[in-house]
Amino acid sequence: MNLFKGFSNEEKSRIRYIVSDVDDTITCDGLLHPDALNALYMIRERGLKTVLVTGGSAGWADGYIRQWPVDAVVAESGALLIYRKDGHIVYETNPSIDCDDYNYKRDELLRLTKDFVFSSDQYARLYDIAYEKMALDGKKEKKLFDAIRTLGGFALVSSIHVNVLFAPLNKRKGIDDFFPRLKDVLDIEMSIYEFYSHTLALGDSLNDEALFEAFPISVGNKRVYDEYGRFEHPPGYVTTLYGGDSFAKVIADLLV
Question: Can you spell out the DSSP letters for 117-174?
Answer: -B-TTGGG-SS-EEEEGGG--HHHHHHHHHHHHHHT-EEEE-SSEEEEESSS--HHHH
Q: pTM for the complete prediction?
A: 0.93
pLDDT score of 218 more than 90: yes
pLDDT at 99: 81
- Which tens digit of pLDDT belongs to each residue from 138-194? 999 999 999 999 999 999 988 889 999 999 999 999 999 999 999 999 999 999 999
Mean pLDDT, rounded, for 110-137 = 95
CB within 8 Å of 240: residues ≥ 6 apart: 3, 222, 225
